[in-house]
Structure 1
Amino acid sequence: FETKHASKYDKLSAQEKTKKAEEMVAAMQKEQSFSPKALAVRDGIMRTSYEMAHIIAKKSKPFSEGEFVKEYMLKSAAILCPDKKEQFENVRLSRRTIVRRVEDISENLHQQLKSKVNDFSYFALALDESCGVKDTDQLLIFIRGITENFELTEELALIQSMKDTTTGKDVLEDKCVSKLGMDWKRLVSVTTYGSPNLAGKHVGLLKIIQDQVKEINPEQKIIFLHCIIHQEVLCKSVLKLSTVVDTVTKVVSYIRARGLNHRQFATLLEGSESERTDVLHDTSVSWLSLGNILKRVWELRAEIGLFLNVKEDLDFPQLNDADWLSDFAFAIDVTGYMSDLNSRLQEKGLFAHELHSSVKSFMMKLLLFSRQIGNKDFSHFPTLQQVTVSDQNLKKYTSLLVDLHAEFSRRFEDFQMIEKDLSLVSSPFTFNVDSAPCDLQLELIDLQCDALLAEQFQSVPLPSFYASLNKQKFPKIKTHARKMLVLFGSTYMCQQMHSVMKVNKSNLRSSMSGDHLAAVLHIATTEMTPDFDFLVNAHQRLHSSP
């Protein structure tokens, strides 16, 4: 009462201090009197509470779901193990308890990530921003790091509500740097979605990062990349598909937006024994779903024409226009190829060189398509084969494909600037030594002349191959590989996060605080496992200490 806790108990009288001391001694004796079995049960109950909270956050369920889970557990326990029901009753799953557990789990994951960051040889950042339900911008920062042994970690580093006058500098200095202990000297690259707030040349977050790095090391060069998926989506503008898309959207909306029309069209399809049971509908007509919508309408164009003829209250002459149908068929085939590319770019776990390789492959296909269509060869355009294509349209389609190729070349200049660096890592045994940086040429020759390493390269994942190289013999190649393998080629993980965010920050849960949203998103997206034993022990120590 007079040393460590003087300020806490200075207002107590001597009699009250004596009573408090007796209570503390009794609590300690009670704690020590627990048998090992009783302690195991107590810890099991506490761990169950943490595990349930973790599942609730992982599945993006409301915190109040804990009460439903407990009711379900008690019903099950009463049937399966009545003698254990009292233990289940002691599991705390109230809303407030779940909130506290989620906070503890999030902090535990944060400490694990902080420990990993300290081991990173290099790291890269992916930035994006999203507008929430209450029009509050959320800044998302993902970090990907690579260790000396080529172990890769990719995690959500920060989600920050951009309120009032919060600046990018505040976020980086007060949140990322101080909380995770990131060393700017190890930063290799920053990838963004292209928002002016992030990519602005004078006041954007990238400019702040660049200034921060130069202040520490003027010679350090940062690779700035624009999300490869976003760039691919933006390229579609040169195709000029508005005449097709607008008409198809109106037709689909006419059928789907009115209940009577929709029911009558479904009945017509059923009566005609069509393989399709409905037209696809997406009110936003997003690029990802556009190809599927166009294809479905094409497959049902005969049934749609029959249905519109019966209704007679809306006319779509384009459905009988040969040139428009030709444009429609061309649009289906092209959007199909672009949708396939988009799906390939969204595959999980791809390195930057793999994403760039997919784009290069698509660009070569565009040139092939252009040459073949110019020669009236529709081998790779199955839908276009079904219609009559005029010479004027042939020239138009050829020109559009050439323009699309040029747009891809223009938009992917940032990746073209590092293409050789990426190729050196992805294909070291076929890379031209003369094209390699001078400081890597001698090591590259040694590598290419080693038959055993060439055989190993074909049989193991890329990080494992470079991890196995002798660090005395290939130090510079290993360093270069770490820098290229850590790059974010896209911000797709940020886009996935937006979907999780919409579930957790919906209109029904719009009052959730920014800190709690960040905790839930961290738990829902991480690949790390909480240290439940540590959490239980820490909780028990906290509540058993005087």
Structure 2
Amino acid sequence: MAEGKRAKTYHFHPEWEEDYFFVYSHSKPVCLICNATVALAKKGNLERHFKTVHGSYERDFPAKTPLRATKVRDLKAQLSARQSIFTKPKTQGKAATIASYRVSHILAKHKKPFNDGDMVKEAFLEAADSLFDDFKNKTEIMKAIKEVQLSRNTTTRRCERMAVDVEEQLREDIDACECFSLQFDESTDTVDVVQLCVFIRMVFEDMSAKEELLTLLPLKGHTRGEDIFNAFMGFVSETTLPLFKLISITTDGAPAMMGRTSGFIALCKESESFPDILNYHCIIHKQALCGKILNMKEVMDIAMKIVNLLLHTDFRWLSSGKFLSRFTELLPEIKDFLKLSKHVDYHTKLEDHQWLLDVSFLTDLTAELNELNLELQGKGKDVVNMMSSVNTFKSKLQLMSSRLQRGNLRNFPHMQAELQRQGKGVTQLDSARYEEHVQSISSEFVRRFTDFASIEPVASYMCYPFAASIDVGDIAAKVKSLFDLESSALEDEILTLQNDIEIKARSTSAQPGEHVVFWKLLVEEKYPNLRRCALNLTALFGSTYLCESAFSHMKIIKSKYRSTMTDDHLAACLRLATSSYTPNYEKLASSSQCQVSH
């Protein structure tokens, strides 16, 4: 069959502007005199229109004269002015809409009510009135600010749409990531609705990780394990979450989560929708439980009663370490106050040398526990980082115990100061009494962290794979047990890596201060199982810190002044407040009706 005849392409020539009073605008020739358009940019079409309709212009403005050139220039300016009447409002409207989205995002980030948008606009106008007083275009600036749409309803819609946009970005990352882990926790909001918070930690091909709020699910009825499971599976079904990428789940250890038969984790492991997953009790919760093993309730209770007496009220102390530190620092003033009061019993207790030593010991030990607690908190901490902190603290407890045996109070400055106040030496201290408490905490740490014992050898190897004492078979077996990878293939890859001169050289060539992710150096085709192990290990959550942090945000967002906030709006605001994603303002404004504020 003969090839079809191609359509001829016509090009507009600049000289036709003066010859025929035509310009090329919006892909069509436009007559400067009558604004008529011609379908094709053909010389004959333009010439016919000019001579037929505007013949007098040929006589009044002769060709090739300055008069004609001036007329063409004037008509072009008039056309541009007419076109700008339609384009300028559209541009201004879009700019006002983008500004509206940006301000709404800031309000959501700072957990402010939707109706604060009007307040921001009012403050902006007041500031601009004096700030731009000497600017020639002050009127235009003030007009632009007034056009920003920040009413309560508009700010609400902006937050809804931005939350959807951020969630879409999250979906794209979930699809792109290699694997992910989840953390679950629940808390009640201001109106006693139980909110199930789920965070996700995604790991990508380049070994980078990202942590985001996955969802906030209200539990309107019961909060049993099956209720949590059903609510989450409803979310999975609705969003088609790729559960085959799931590596582990971290929870707060509540019975509804960890129950052996009907707990959430047990139901996940029974379900065919879930792969074989690891599950962990939050390390921060474990650490807090270890601290409670201290059998010094009498000391703490008396100190609390004295302080509550001084303040004439009961307090819920958020940090026992800080409380005890302040108590010991103000002990002389407290004694003076109690001397003047009628509470002789408490004053007598403050003269008891043994009780004062116990308080000093408890102050020093809780300070150490608080330091560990703070070290475990924060975003971006995986299980390997947190295990390292816990292991360091366990070793520190052993060192503290051995120092107490030798009469060394380096780790107990408050107790040492109390001994000096009493005029006693270290030899007069009953070290065994306090060493027993340190050992009990140390034993509790060992007992509670046994479920992380399977990770530690694998993490140690992955952090330094070139140690001479590595047992290839043992490491391969432990990795297989942890992540269900092929043992024989792992042994081959471990041996290959140990003898890979190039990789070994590149792994040790980094300068101090450079953050080089070693496992990015490994080629997927050569080390598929070791790369998979590194990805899975990087994905593991160590705590439910992000959920606890989100609940702090939730209490501010849905306060007693916003108690009627819907669950959807709470989820949207919480997502914007916690997310590291930036909404696509340009895209959102382009899909909105960009009208200025009335």
| Smaller-chain TM-score bracket | 0.7 to 0.9
Find 1:447's aligned residue among 497, 509, 514: 497
Paired AA for residue 97 in structure 1:
T
Q: CA deviation at 1:428?
A: 2.2
Q: Can you list the C-alpha shifts for 1:201-251, whole angstroms capped at 9, x where unaligned?
A: 222221222223xx157xx43110111011000111211121121111112
Matches of 2:443 and 2:119 in 1, distance apart? 57
Over 3 Å counting, the alpha-carbon distance change for 1:318 and 1:448 in structure 2 is farther
- 2:214 is paired with a residue whose SS is strand
Residues 383-532 of structure 1 aligned to structure 2 (within 5 Å): 383-386=414-417, 387=419, 388=424, 393-430=430-467, 432-434=470-472, 435-437=474-476, 438=487, 439-449=489-499, 450=501, 451-456=504-509, 464-532=517-585
1:239 aligns with 2:269: no
1:336 aligns with 2:395: no
Find 1:293's aligned residue among 323, 342, 359: 323
Matches of 1:460 and 1:226 in 2, distance apart? 33
1:209 aligns with 2:268: yes
Is the contact between residue 447 and residue 453 of structure 1 (CA under 8 Å) also seen in structure 2? no
Find 1:382's aligned residue among 413, 436, 439: 413
Matches of 1:37 and 1:432 in 2, distance apart? 71
- 1:540 is paired with a residue whose SS is coil
Q: Which residue of 1 aligns with 2:168?
A: 111
Q: Can you list the C-alpha shifts for 1:439-458, whole angstroms capped at 9, x where unaligned?
A: 32332233334331331477
Over 3 Å counting, the alpha-carbon distance change for 1:34 and 1:471 in structure 2 is farther
Q: Which residue of 1 aligns with 2:116?
A: 65
Q: Can you list the C-alpha shifts for 1:284-312, whole angstroms capped at 9, x where unaligned?
A: 123xx211111111112112111210223
- Paired residues in the alignment total 483
Q: Can you list the C-alpha shifts for 1:251-281, whole angstroms capped at 9, x where unaligned?
A: 22122237xxxxxxxxxxxxxxxxxxxxxxx
Is the contact between residue 308 and residue 315 of structure 1 (CA under 8 Å) also seen in structure 2? no
- 2:114 is paired with a residue whose SS is coil
Find 2:206's aligned residue among 118, 137, 149: 149
Over 3 Å counting, the alpha-carbon distance change for 1:318 and 1:177 in structure 2 is farther
1:199 aligns with 2:258: yes
Over 3 Å counting, the alpha-carbon distance change for 1:175 and 1:367 in structure 2 is same
Find 1:175's aligned residue among 208, 211, 235: 235
Residues 267-346 of structure 1 aligned to structure 2 (within 5 Å): 283-286=315-318, 289-313=319-343, 315-316=345-346, 317-346=348-377
Deviates more, 1:166-175 or 1:227-236: 166-175
Is the contact between residue 150 and residue 463 of structure 1 (CA under 8 Å) also seen in structure 2? no
Over 3 Å counting, the alpha-carbon distance change for 1:57 and 1:216 in structure 2 is closer
Residues 33-72 of structure 1 aligned to structure 2 (within 5 Å): 35-72=86-123
Q: CA deviation at 1:390?
A: 8.6
Q: Which residue of 1 aligns with 2:179?
A: 122
1:228 aligns with 2:283: yes
**Greater helix content:** 1
1:88 aligns with 2:145: yes
Q: Which residue of 1 aligns with 2:246?
A: 187
- 1:238 is paired with a residue whose SS is coil
Over 3 Å counting, the alpha-carbon distance change for 1:342 and 1:122 in structure 2 is same
Is the contact between residue 128 and residue 195 of structure 1 (CA under 8 Å) also seen in structure 2? no
Matches of 2:385 and 2:309 in 1, distance apart? 42
Q: CA deviation at 1:45?
A: 0.5
1:535 aligns with 2:585: no
Q: Can you list the C-alpha shifts for 1:77-104, whole angstroms capped at 9, x where unaligned?
A: 4332233322222222111111111100
Deviates more, 1:445-454 or 1:341-350: 445-454
Unmatched runs of 5 consecutive residues or more in structure 1: 1-31, 259-281
Matches of 1:390 and 1:318 in 2, distance apart? 24
Q: Which residue of 1 aligns with 2:61?
A: none
Is the contact between residue 426 and residue 462 of structure 1 (CA under 8 Å) also seen in structure 2? no
- 1:539 is paired with a residue whose SS is coil
Q: Can you list the C-alpha shifts for 1:31-73, whole angstroms capped at 9, x where unaligned?
A: x986443322111000111111111111001111011111112
Matches of 1:156 and 1:475 in 2, distance apart? 30
Over 3 Å counting, the alpha-carbon distance change for 1:461 and 1:34 in structure 2 is farther
Q: If you compute each CA radius of gyration, which structure gives the higher value, 1 or 2?
A: 2
Paired AA for residue 227 in structure 1:
C
Deviates more, 1:109-118 or 1:311-320: 311-320
Paired AA for residue 237 in structure 1:
K
Over 3 Å counting, the alpha-carbon distance change for 1:250 and 1:63 in structure 2 is same
Q: Calculate the aligned-residue CA RMSD, in Å.
A: 2.4
Deviates more, 1:517-526 or 1:202-211: 202-211
Matches of 1:380 and 1:74 in 2, distance apart? 58
- 1:161 is paired with a residue whose SS is strand
Paired AA for residue 482 in structure 1:
L
Paired AA for residue 389 in structure 2:
S
Is the contact between residue 372 and residue 389 of structure 2 (CA under 8 Å) also seen in structure 1? yes
Paired AA for residue 312 in structure 1:
K
Paired AA for residue 74 in structure 1:
L
- 1:63 is paired with a residue whose SS is coil
Matches of 2:198 and 2:297 in 1, distance apart? 35
Matches of 1:412 and 1:178 in 2, distance apart? 36
- 1:125 is paired with a residue whose SS is strand
TM-score (normalised: structure 2) = 0.76
Unmatched runs of 5 consecutive residues or more in structure 2: 1-82, 133-137, 477-486
- 1:320 is paired with a residue whose SS is coil
Deviates more, 1:506-515 or 1:477-486: 506-515
Is the contact between residue 130 and residue 138 of structure 1 (CA under 8 Å) also seen in structure 2? yes
Deviates more, 1:344-353 or 1:226-235: 344-353
Over 3 Å counting, the alpha-carbon distance change for 1:127 and 1:34 in structure 2 is farther
Q: Can you list the C-alpha shifts for 1:419-439, whole angstroms capped at 9, x where unaligned?
A: 122222222233724331143
Matches of 1:139 and 1:376 in 2, distance apart? 50
Is the contact between residue 381 and residue 541 of structure 2 (CA under 8 Å) also seen in structure 1? no
